[in-house]
Structure 1
Amino acid sequence: MTGAELTTAVVAASPVADVLRRLDSSAAGLSAAEAAARLARHGPNAVRTRHVNALAVLGRQLRNAVLILLAGTAVVSYFLGDSIQAIIIGIILAASIGLGFLNEYRAERAAAALHGGVRHNAVVRRDGEFVTLPVTALVPGDVIRLSLGEAVPADVRLIDVSGLECDESILTGESTGSEKSPQPVPAGAELAESSDLAFMGTIVSAGEATGVVYATGTGAEFGRIAAGLEERSPETGFQVGLRGFSYLLLQVAIALMVVILASNLLLHRQVINSVLFSLAIAVGITPQLLPAVVSTSLATGARQLARAKVLVKRLVCIEDLGDIDILITDKTGTLTDGRISLVDTIDPAGAHSDSVRRLGLMATDVDPETGGVSANPLDAALWESPRARQLVGAVRRIAMLPFDHERRATSVLVDDREGRVLVVKGAPEQVLARCRLTAAVAQATLAALF
């Protein structure tokens, strides 16, 4: 059985060694050459590629009840012999559609460029070493490391687990974290019961693990769901209101036509003249300039927002934005750069201390003996600090208890120059509460910093 034939049920019920054999891989991962060949065969690990479709943008402009009503009015005006009014309405329609199309198409291209600039990485073992690669480069058979806070980049069969829990609510609807284990589950187990698997799109809520990728892109569980959904934006409240107003106008026009036509027939007027007169009344009550006024107003709002560095993808959303009372946003990557860097390490008195930095480096997800890269931004910032490798020196890790949201700390047991040492790294107020020999000035230092 090849990797392409592996199903979630088969992988979940199989021992790790069997899954690795079927994927033609090992715990040491793939070579760069083999990974490149598989990438060409399986394609990138992506659900869909974002493209800007001009026809789709134009279609959104045409799906407007007011424009359809006015287009009908223009046709009726032409057949009534009022070709000048028909031409004027046509020009208004073309200007309104063109203005909306240009603004939204330009915004779509800018959003696509921004989307293309976003890069998500994974820690992958290639040629026996852990390296950081884009998640789109993952292929079946890759061995990856999962750490706290990461989104699982593909469907993974777990190999080694250290307190791993995943938030799988996106797939199963369960609000509590799912505890993971490398032990296979019984055959026929449900998706939510597959404790030896980590699924694309779920979030690591505790612990860490290594695992082998068995499905990527649309072959993953989340990828199949996402690929089956149509990407169509829902109607905004503003669009619903415009559509309701258009239907109201249409109902009023039809009612007037019927009443006027019936009245003229009762007065024994000519049928053709009665029909033409009622149609002329219906055309007259139609607000021909409404689409142009709406498009111009929304385009003006888009330009004002653009000066404030706000990208408007759909003009009709501006009206809903104006109705917002409270806007809540995640600051990471929006108000900040989304990148952590080490500023300083200090002792309880607040003075610079390299020994504190050395202890922090010991308590990261990178083994000082074997090296590698960290998937945890805080740990990565520590290892990117000056002379980090030289500062740690010869240290042998005995055991590690990874960070979780309940303990709010990472614990490592290491053999150092002075002997065996237990290092705890975590939330400072919580760690200090358990330290009995720390100087009293430590609390004042912490209060001054935070």
Structure 2
Amino acid sequence: MQDLTLNTERPWHSEPAAAALEEFQSSTQGLSSDEAARRLAADGPNRLPAPKPRSLLARAFAQFNNLLIYVLLASALVTVFLRHGLDAVVILAVVVINATIGFIQEGRAEKALEAIRAMLTREASVLRDGRRLTVPAESLVTGDVVLTEAGDRIPADLRLMRASGLRIEEAVLTGEAAASDKSIEPVSREAALGDRASMAYSGTMVASGQGAGLVVATGAATELGRISAMVGGVETLTTPLIRQMNVFAQRLTIVILALAACVCVFAVTARGYELEHAFMAAVGVAVSAIPEGLPAVMTITLAIGVKRMADRNAIIRSLPAVETLGAVSTICSDKTGTLTLNQMTVGAVRTASAEFETTGTGYEPRGELLRDGAAIDTAAYPDLGAIARASLLCNDASLRQAETDWVVDGDPMEGALIVFALKANADPGAVKREFPRIKEIPFDSRYRFMAALNRVGVDDLITVKGAPERVLELCVSQRAATGDEPLDAEAWRAAIDKLAARGQRVLAFASKPARAPDSLELADVEEGGLTLLGLVGLIDPPRPEAVQAIAECKAAGIDVKMITGDHASTGVAIARKLGLGKGVVDALTGHAVDAMDDDALRRSLPTTSVFARTSPEHKLRLVEALQSDGAVVSMTGDGVNDAPALKRANVGVAMGRKGTEAAKEAAEMVLADDNFATIAAAVREGRIVYDNLVKVVGWALPTNGGQAMAIVAAVLLGVALPMTPAQILWVNMVTGVTLGLVFAFDPAEP
């Protein structure tokens, strides 16, 4: 048998299912049990490899890898050798306290990888020996035929061979909440992950329909496995202040050692000190010059910042991130749910007679319809009433009021249609009682529409909802205010393009009388003869508070960029409403990023505000490109696909409500309300914390310098040392900390 593991790299989304069957030496009836066992033994189980975690001992020793700590440890050894036990104990206690604080903060990357592995399903339904079996997901091999239905989690990467009304939620990989329609037809080789309709990826969830697919990748070879490997390979950056403190520690160590050596030599040669007393004087200089209380004051200052940010719905998972937030110069934000409400809303309605706009946002049924900016009486527009009724008849969702908000049960777009109908004064309950549904044809990506058969008095009515280009092909007339008239196809195509240019998702509605009672077949719709009722444009509207927050970021010199899995036109339309960019909003797609080298990408960054149809590699590359230009980057995300970039960013920000555990574990900050305005508020708090930390450092250095000079002066004058090392440490750790904390509570500078 040939080595099949090499074939997992082929772009199976762009090749026919038959080619995959041939390549993996399988059939539509699946593998034999014996063949599956052989492949499992050769390729290994379908699971992600567990990384080798650092031992607790290694993590503990890493906390002592600091030059100032080395100086303190050397001082402790000298005091032990000179039998000054109390001084040694106090010095070692300070070292242990600081190491404990650092030890507690580690381990986030390992948790992120564990969260990704937890997304894999445990069982799968497969065809083996021509029979349907339920097997452990870990036993899947390339060439297996997997059967899926609503509610299933995809167990491996599949090339679909059958798709009946199949829709899959791929938010963990694409970041987009709307379920993707699936088909068996090949797509372009360059198609972005969210456009690969012929594939089902491990870790995603079947929203509706049924399907069958050939396993083309398992374990680490899956898309999920590739992302997991990226997370494991991404280097976590240190914070700006930590980098500055490391440089400061190196320089201070050189000065301290030189000064202590000079004091020791001078004390012995010029002042006749005994060697033991000279060593203690040198130790006194060392421990007095080192700001031992500084780590404690810095930690408490950061903790106060954590509390302030938590009050603003920003949950900090790593203390140093508080300080880094204050240095952020670029925010790369997800679109859906962060810059937008993540609640689909009907923004425009187009009938043959006019175009209407709606007021109100989200699922709350409050608002009205406008024509040319003025409110209308919906009863005066029967064609508007017809499309409102159709939006209820071709609808399987429901709208209900929860404790604090309105909630849609079902497809978000269908929920938005119910809200539109209510604004048009249509009663969903009354419409469905008056026009009961008899039969339906569910939406399918092959014919791109949904149809419903409803009883209208003694007759039956077929209502169709679907992709505008497809529905338009089936229509011969259009509904106007005065009745039906011949279809003006060119005018409707222009209207479709106009709505799409605004970044809206367009649906078309049409209807016709049924030829026979209680009968609805696909042929009844595809034969045409429909009357076009109109178009509906839907959009996920920007958060009102995000507009203000972006303006504040601009005023503070912070650049905001949108990174989305959605289409470029939608991203640009939302970006304009948010005020991104400098007048003109430029966008780059993931495909365009692939065609650029690193220099070209860096040159494009200052003028590009929207990055669309992006993959995990694109997001990681964008963050690295920004950092290479000196930017301090905050990256937001909610899916597994965001985890590598979240880990690489200076501050990774995960969504608390809709974010996956993998994203949260890779991030330094979690937004409890998934709101961009919270990031802006956290950056403001971070700048306050950074300013206060600078004050603390500026206060600590002269204090410690004064102590060191007192020891030096005593040696120069040949008098007794004013303080022992233990007393110096007491001053630094107790009085120094309490006085330094005054700066931690400072408010923002005016």
State the TM-score, normalizing by the size of structure 1. 0.57
Structure-2 change in CA distance of 1:268 and 1:114 (3 Å):
closer
Structure-2 change in CA distance of 1:259 and 1:50 (3 Å):
closer
Aligned-pair distance for 1:353?
3.9
Q: What residue number does 2:506 align with?
A: 409
Equivalences for residues 86-235 of structure 1 within 5 A = 86-102=88-104, 104=105, 130-135=149-154, 137-138=155-156, 159-161=184-186, 166-167=191-192, 212-220=214-222, 223-224=225-226, 226-227=228-229, 229-230=232-233, 232-235=235-238
Q: What residue number does 1:250 align with?
A: 253
Q: What residue number does 1:240 align with?
A: 243
Could you tell me which amino acid in structure 2 is paired with residue 298 of structure 1? L
Unmatched runs of 5 consecutive residues or more in structure 1: 169-176, 183-196, 202-208, 362-374, 430-450
Aligned-pair distance for 1:326?
8.3
Contact 1:253-1:285 at 8 Å conserved across structures: yes
Q: What residue number does 1:372 align with?
A: none
Structure-2 change in CA distance of 1:424 and 1:86 (3 Å):
farther
Contact 2:157-2:223 at 8 Å conserved across structures: no
Q: What residue number does 2:484 align with?
A: none
Structure with the bigger percentage of strand: 2
Q: Which secondary structure does the structure 1 equivalent of 2:316 belong to?
A: coil
* Residue-by-residue CA offset, 1:290-343 (whole Å, 9 max, x unaligned): 222223333343344445554322212222224458867547566999676976
Which of 369, 375, 391 is the equivalent residue of 1:356? Answer: 391
Q: What residue number does 2:302 align with?
A: 298
Rounded Cα–Cα distance in structure 2 between residues aligned with 1:391 and 1:379: 16
Contact 1:67-1:291 at 8 Å conserved across structures: no
> 1:393 aligned to 2:396?
no
Contact 1:28-1:125 at 8 Å conserved across structures: no
Q: Which secondary structure does the structure 2 equivalent of 1:427 belong to?
A: strand
Q: What residue number does 2:79 align with?
A: 77
Could you tell me which amino acid in structure 2 is paired with residue 20 of structure 1? L
Q: What residue number does 2:7 align with?
A: 6
Rounded Cα–Cα distance in structure 2 between residues aligned with 1:329 and 1:264: 61
Q: What residue number does 2:136 align with?
A: none
Rounded Cα–Cα distance in structure 1 between residues aligned with 2:298 and 2:415: 50
Unmatched runs of 5 consecutive residues or more in structure 2: 127-131, 133-146, 175-181, 204-210, 345-361, 370-375, 379-383, 397-409, 419-427, 449-465, 469-496, 516-524, 540-750
Rounded Cα–Cα distance in structure 1 between residues aligned with 2:65 and 2:467: 53
Structure-2 change in CA distance of 1:399 and 1:3 (3 Å):
same
Q: Which secondary structure does the structure 2 equivalent of 1:296 belong to?
A: helix
Q: Which secondary structure does the structure 1 equivalent of 2:152 belong to?
A: strand
Rounded Cα–Cα distance in structure 1 between residues aligned with 2:70 and 2:326: 26
* Residue-by-residue CA offset, 1:236-285 (whole Å, 9 max, x unaligned): 11211221221122011122134334545664847835555434422332
Could you tell me which amino acid in structure 1 is paired with residue 324 of structure 2? D
Contact 2:12-2:20 at 8 Å conserved across structures: yes
Contact 1:140-1:213 at 8 Å conserved across structures: yes
Rounded Cα–Cα distance in structure 2 between residues aligned with 1:261 and 1:59: 31
Rounded Cα–Cα distance in structure 1 between residues aligned with 2:117 and 2:201: 25
Q: Which secondary structure does the structure 2 equivalent of 1:393 belong to?
A: strand
**Percent of pairs with identical residues:** 20
Could you tell me which amino acid in structure 1 is paired with residue 242 of structure 2? Q
Could you tell me which amino acid in structure 2 is paired with residue 167 of structure 1? A
Aligned-pair distance for 1:214?
1.0
Structure-2 change in CA distance of 1:248 and 1:47 (3 Å):
same
Contact 1:74-1:90 at 8 Å conserved across structures: yes
Rounded Cα–Cα distance in structure 2 between residues aligned with 1:120 and 1:416: 48
Contact 2:201-2:223 at 8 Å conserved across structures: yes
Structure-2 change in CA distance of 1:393 and 1:118 (3 Å):
farther
Contact 2:68-2:290 at 8 Å conserved across structures: no
> 1:282 aligned to 2:286?
yes
Structure-2 change in CA distance of 1:120 and 1:20 (3 Å):
same
Contact 1:146-1:210 at 8 Å conserved across structures: no
Contact 1:100-1:315 at 8 Å conserved across structures: no
Q: What residue number does 2:18 align with?
A: 17
Equivalences for residues 404-443 of structure 1 within 5 A = 408-410=505-507, 417=514, 420=528, 421=530, 427=537
Contact 2:68-2:253 at 8 Å conserved across structures: no
Structure-2 change in CA distance of 1:139 and 1:234 (3 Å):
same
Contact 1:257-1:278 at 8 Å conserved across structures: yes
Contact 1:394-1:416 at 8 Å conserved across structures: no
Rounded Cα–Cα distance in structure 1 between residues aligned with 2:328 and 2:14: 49
Rounded Cα–Cα distance in structure 1 between residues aligned with 2:167 and 2:189: 9
Structure-2 change in CA distance of 1:198 and 1:331 (3 Å):
closer
Structure-2 change in CA distance of 1:52 and 1:415 (3 Å):
farther
Rounded Cα–Cα distance in structure 2 between residues aligned with 1:53 and 1:339: 45
Q: Which secondary structure does the structure 1 equivalent of 2:297 belong to?
A: helix
Rounded Cα–Cα distance in structure 2 between residues aligned with 1:57 and 1:304: 30
State the TM-score, normalizing by the size of structure 2. 0.38
CA-based RMSD of the aligned residues comes to: 6.1
Rounded Cα–Cα distance in structure 2 between residues aligned with 1:163 and 1:12: 8
Q: What residue number does 2:704 align with?
A: none
Rounded Cα–Cα distance in structure 2 between residues aligned with 1:316 and 1:272: 43
Rounded Cα–Cα distance in structure 1 between residues aligned with 2:53 and 2:416: 35
Aligned-pair distance for 1:90?
2.0
Contact 1:48-1:227 at 8 Å conserved across structures: no
Rounded Cα–Cα distance in structure 1 between residues aligned with 2:59 and 2:416: 43
Rounded Cα–Cα distance in structure 2 between residues aligned with 1:425 and 1:46: 46
Q: Which secondary structure does the structure 1 equivalent of 2:318 belong to?
A: coil
Could you tell me which amino acid in structure 1 is paired with residue 439 of structure 2? G
Q: Which secondary structure does the structure 2 equivalent of 1:132 belong to?
A: coil
Rounded Cα–Cα distance in structure 2 between residues aligned with 1:113 and 1:310: 23
Q: Which secondary structure does the structure 1 equivalent of 2:290 belong to?
A: coil
Rounded Cα–Cα distance in structure 2 between residues aligned with 1:358 and 1:337: 26
Rounded Cα–Cα distance in structure 1 between residues aligned with 2:415 and 2:125: 17
* Residue-by-residue CA offset, 1:387-438 (whole Å, 9 max, x unaligned): 8997483459883386997684356999872762368765259xxxxxxxxx
* Residue-by-residue CA offset, 1:120-147 (whole Å, 9 max, x unaligned): 99xx998766423334x33656667577
Could you tell me which amino acid in structure 2 is paired with residue 291 of structure 1? P
Rounded Cα–Cα distance in structure 1 between residues aligned with 2:338 and 2:441: 39
Structure-2 change in CA distance of 1:85 and 1:287 (3 Å):
farther
Structure-2 change in CA distance of 1:119 and 1:245 (3 Å):
same
